[in-house]
A = this chain, B = another copy of it.
Amino acid sequence: MVDRHDGTWTMDVKTVCLGMLTDGPASGYDMKKCFESTFGHFFPAGYGSIYPALATLARNGFVEFEEVPQDGKPDRKVYSITEEGREELHKGLANPKPSHKVRSEFLAMMCFAHLMSDEQIDEVIDNKLLELDGFLNLFGECPAERCGGKASIGTQFVAGFGRHIASSLRTYIKDNRGMLTSSDGEKIRLAAGSRQ
């Protein structure tokens, strides 16, 4: 949780970890799986973020952990949220203007479509459509049961959000990919101009 100097805090990996723990104790490995299956689609985090986050949370007393030995497998550090952790989580949830950021190599690349060959563009677009189809197949009709538990009402809202956007994205790309290729005068003119 980082102080934004305007009374709000960032909703960072630490906050999401705290939120996950309100569902019950979990290890860093468990959380990584949860990020992979669900949160990662709109709030990615790898081990490089999760373990330091848990270490900081433990140092500040927002989580506690218990080392659970296992036979054959490495020990599990099972984390639980503390009462101070719940307060910290509520601070994180109090931000009235949470961000929603996109970082798209895809769109940046498409801005320079006039510097690419039609074959390159087609390959990129086809791959993107396949990726979207894969996503929609995976999340198409499962309104619940992710991350090892009953989905909260918020999780259902977010899952629907993801499906809606993915589907809308696919429609736009399918309907408009034609303008990027099929070399008309426009494209040739631009390519020539950029060579200059």
Contacts and interface: CB of A to CB of B under 8 A. Distances in A.
A165 B158 contact: no
B152 A111 contact: yes
Main secondary structure, interface of A, reads helix
A2 to B, nearest CB: 12
Given A108-B11, A114-B153, A180-B154, A120 B94 contact: yes
A22 interface: yes
Contact of A157 (B43, B168, B180): B180
Contacts of A92: 109
B102 A19 contact: no
A115 B19 contact: yes
A168 B158 contact: no
Given A156-B179, A168-B165, A44 B112 contact: no
B39 A153 contact: no
Interface in A155-193: 155-158, 160-161, 164-165, 168-169, 172-173, 176, 179-180, 186-187, 190
Contact of A44 (B44, B97, B103, B179): B103
Given A93-B115, A157-B179, A108 B42 contact: yes
A11 B44 contact: no
A90 interface: yes
A157 B102 contact: no
Interface string A36-67: 00010111100000000000000000000000
10 contacts: A19-B115, A39-B108, A43-B104, A89-B115, A98-B105, A98-B109, A100-B106, A110-B161, A114-B153, A161-B169
